[in-house]
Amino acid sequence: MPSSTRRLKRSGLTMPIVTPRFINNAWHRGCDYINMDLEDSVPPNLKGYARSLVRESIPVVNKGGADAVCRINHDLMEADLDAAIWPGIMMVNYPKTEYGHEIERMDAIITRLEAERGIRPGTVEIGANIETAVGVANAFEIVTASSRVRDFGGASGYDMSRDLGVEMFVAFDQFVYGKGEVELAARAAGREPRAAPFTPNITGSVSDPDRAFAEADAARKCGFRIGGGLHPAVVEPQIRGFAPSDDEVSDARWVLREYRKLSRTGQTWVQVDVSSVDREASPRPMASESYLGRHRVIDRYEAARAEELLQWQDLCQERDQEKAEAIDRVRAAESAESAT
């Protein structure tokens, strides 16, 4: 896996590493990453056993092309890292990060383990999860503590709600400030923000596919590209929600074509009435009743947006292809095995 390329994290399943039926079946769910949990879903008396499973589980979750991620325990950092940093691990999630020095220490340990275990230096990412008020307050020092922190987010979820003493499932965004601070810190530091706009979830359901799609779609439109969940039912809707729709792709191509025309005129912007465009044309702008409106302004900002959308679309397709091929290889090997 080339280290310099951005790893997509549109969907990922977090699961207790001590439950073999989850770990053994996760590879064919189609998610971008699988987060093997040593933390909150593992009972205290099984922490040692859980650690012993990580190394052998990495190739199992990797089988379908998903990246292997491990969530370690805040208070057991050293022992958990020793168990998790093996070839094939892409990222380690560190929960309840509160200070930059925690990440610096983690970076030093990972650097040593990479050298000792034949892992390309600097490749294992750190997910510095913000789950407390102290973490929000120190967001910038945390995100800049290590170049291994490539994306950054949090400031919501159960731990955060506990720390603030607020209910988790309410009809308004009780975490809006913290999420804003963390996103700002991420963007100011040049890292990818991990966040989502507020979509009410009063039921607290973790397996609702419609909600998962709506949230991923809204997140993408707000400039976020990272998702994740707990239930296999949300994987496909997340992948779909993070991908631009066919109409959006066609629209982006149309925007770039109009922009090329505009560039030849010496003008900086033009307004196009899209209601008269042939609905069968290709590429074509999105239907005029869409949020974009009947009159579309084409300028360099709109062109940049369209370009990013198409690049993102390429990345999504490449990644989906990569996973499909991996799954095909496994299936082929399995059928070859059963044939003999």
Residue with smaller CB distance to other proteins, 19 or 147: 19
What CA–CA distance (Å, rounded) separates 56 from 90? 15
Closest CB 42 distance from other proteins, rounded Å: 5
Closest CB 67 distance from other proteins, rounded Å: 22
Residue with smaller CB distance to other proteins, 41 or 144: 41
Residue with smaller CB distance to other proteins, 215 or 251: 215
Contacts of 90 (CB under 8 A, 6+ apart): 1, 7, 33, 67, 68, 69, 123, 124, 125
Closest CB 162 distance from other proteins, rounded Å: 5
Contacts of 305 (CB under 8 A, 6+ apart): 252, 255
Summarize as ranges the residues that interact with other proteins (CB under 8 A). 15-16, 18-19, 39-43, 46, 132-134, 136-137, 157-159, 161-168, 170, 172, 174, 176-178, 180-181, 203-207, 230
Residue with smaller CB distance to other proteins, 99 or 315: 99
By three-state DSSP, how is residue 90 classified? strand
Residue with smaller CB distance to other proteins, 18 or 298: 18
Residue with smaller CB distance to other proteins, 20 or 293: 20
Closest CB 92 distance from other proteins, rounded Å: 19
Beta bridge partners of residue 36, listed in sequence order: 15, 70
User: Which H helix or E strand runs over 187?
Assistant: helix 176-188
Closest CB 103 distance from other proteins, rounded Å: 18
Q: Taking the C-alpha atoms of 44, 152, 307 and 321 in order, what is their torsion angle to the nearest 10 degrees?
A: -20
Hey, which bits of the chain come out as E strands?
A: 12-16, 33-37, 67-71, 89-94, 125-130, 151-154, 192-194, 270-273, 295-298
Residue pair 161/174 in contact by the 8 Å Cβ criterion: yes
Q: What phi and psi values does residue 28 have, to the nearest 5 degrees?
A: -95, 10
Closest CB 55 distance from other proteins, rounded Å: 21
Closest CB 3 distance from other proteins, rounded Å: 32
Contacts of 85 (CB under 8 A, 6+ apart): 92, 109, 110, 113, 114, 117, 119, 124
Closest CB 222 distance from other proteins, rounded Å: 17
The widest CA-to-CA distance across the chain, in whole angstroms, is 71
C-alpha closest to that of 324 among 33, 43, 29? 29
Residue with smaller CB distance to other proteins, 170 or 281: 170
Q: How far is residue 257 from each of residues 8, 306, 331, measured CA to CA in Å?
A: 28, 10, 42
Residue with smaller CB distance to other proteins, 228 or 285: 228
